[in-house]
Chain A
Amino acid sequence: MEEKKTYEASVKELETLVERIEDPNRTFAETMEDIRRGRELVEQCREMLRTTESVIAKQ
């Protein structure tokens, strides 16, 4: 099971993925896999931001 990453680590991986996606030398399949992973990371990061926002709202 994948260990839950910190927000910073997730964003850092996402940035790396985006740079890779923009690399013309990547194959179609690799790009599509990067996009799938990227979408997953975007969702995880948004979830973390939503959680933080709800914590602040409760104060």
Chain B
Amino acid sequence: MHLVHPATLAVLLFCVGLYGVLARRNTVLVLMSVELMLAAVSLNLVAFDVWLADELHSGQVFTLFLIALAAAEIGIGLAIVLLVYRRRGTVALDRLRALRDGPGAAEATGGTDGAEQPTANDAARGQETTTP
């Protein structure tokens, strides 16, 4: 088999995942796109391992590790997403701006407990101006 076929498929799959990470608004959908990118990396590892006919099977063993890491990542990620949803009532990425820095940080109100946000941001900004 031509090595270009799996390598090109992996590249295209990675770029589809990249588009999903950048364009999606729902956090769970972003996690799905990350899974697509990880799967593309796995395909690359397997293809190059088979091409090189590695005695230690490094690529395939790394793919196994990668699958386990993806499972761990999705578990932790979904726990965080569920916690954010319970606290803020939303999983839209562009509405979670409580830790936003720079201009416009004061107007960032993240969901339900927006009342205490501006004061916290003002305090942080005050520290920022005094420390340097």
Chains A and B are bound partners: no
Hey, which bits of chain B sit against chain A, CB under 8 A?
none
Hey, which bits of chain A sit against chain B, CB under 8 A?
none
